[in-house]
């Protein structure tokens, strides 16, 4: 008799419970190569319908014209609440192997090769039941979020402007308000002189995105503050999910994370711009 003489129904196994400690999130992607940019998410990747401003459509991801059209939600105005942010350095060595490092890792402690920097943002979107991720795996996307003035072809990054906004509000209110979990922001294409603004990245023209914090009904919210009750819910979610998700990238890792988290080689990327 076999030592393991029993039946096992593997169709009842929840794989997510046994696949490691990585937190997997659906990804909303910014597509801004060669035309006015927009946000897109595969309909099958999320539970719910994102609100407001989203429309159902089709999109062919990647560079191959033979790739199938997929059902997606699209918008040029992504209204969301950021609750967590993580970044890391990436180096591709001469053998094509990717190495990952926490931010601010000194060059002397990295392998040699092609250097890159990647940022991901965990957000909440009305109509979607769970947190989702902005996968900013290309330079113009990461810079759109994080530019502190170093990249002169780009405007001030979303994170810098949101921090300034929160600081200004804190001074007026007389209370320290976090820049995460407390503000509903809009992410929209960059415009200049009434036209989409493009940046030349190694011969490829890309449309970055920017933050829009205007207020005033009916087009915009009366206030960008989410309210005390909603802030507390968001803060609890940040503690439960957001901070552990950020911490995944704070330790040195010389191996790529779980495939669902590896947005750097996501076949849904719209462009193939070097780091």
pLDDT tens for each residue of 141-159:
999 999 988 888 998 999 9
Q: According to the model, what pLDDT value does residue 265 have?
A: 36
From the number of C-beta atoms within 10 Å of its C-beta (0-12, 13-18, 19+), residue 196 rates as middle
Residue 196 pairs in a beta bridge with 191
- Token pair, residue 138, equals 């290309």
Residue environment code for 247-265, b if the CB has 16+ CB neighbours within 10 A, otherwise e: ebbeeeeeeebeeebebbe
Question: Are the CB atoms for 188 and 209 separated by under 8 Å?
Answer: yes
pLDDT < 50 regions, the chain: 19, 255-275
* Chain segment 179-204, per-residue pLDDT in tens: 999 999 999 999 999 999 999 988 99
């Amino acid at each position: 008799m076999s030592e393991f003489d029993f039946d096992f129904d593997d169709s009842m196994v929840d794989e997510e419970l046994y696949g490691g400690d990585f937190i997997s999130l659906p990804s909303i992607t910014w597509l801004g190569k060669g035309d006015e940019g927009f946000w897109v998410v595969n309909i099958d990747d999320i539970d719910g319908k994102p609100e407001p401003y989203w429309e159902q459509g089709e999109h062919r991801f990647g560079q191959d014209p033979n790739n199938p059209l997929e059902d997606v939600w699209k918008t040029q105005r992504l209204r969301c609440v950021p609750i967590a942010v993580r970044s890391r350095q990436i180096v591709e060595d001469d053998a094509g192997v990717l190495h990952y490092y926490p931010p601010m890792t000194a060059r002397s402690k990295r392998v040699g090769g092609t250097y890159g920097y990647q940022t991901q943002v965990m957000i909440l979107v009305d109509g979607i039941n769970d947190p989702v991720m902005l996968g900013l795996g290309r330079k113009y996307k990461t810079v759109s979020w994080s530019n502190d003035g170093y990249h002169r072809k780009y405007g001030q990054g979303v994170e810098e402007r949101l921090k300034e906004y929160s600081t200004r509000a804190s001074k007026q209110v007389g209370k320290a308000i976090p820049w995460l979990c407390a503000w509903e922001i809009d992410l929209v294409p960059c415009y200049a002189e009434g036209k989409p603004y493009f940046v030349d990245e190694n011969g490829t023209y890309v449309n970055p995105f920017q933050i829009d914090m205007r207020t005033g009904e009916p087009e915009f919210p009366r206030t960008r503050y989410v309210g005390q009750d909603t802030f507390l819910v968001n803060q609890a979610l940040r503690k439960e999910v957001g901070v552990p998700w950020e911490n995944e990238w704070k330790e040195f890792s010389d191996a790529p994370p779980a495939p669902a988290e590896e947005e750097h080689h996501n076949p849904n990327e719209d462009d193939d711009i070097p780091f």
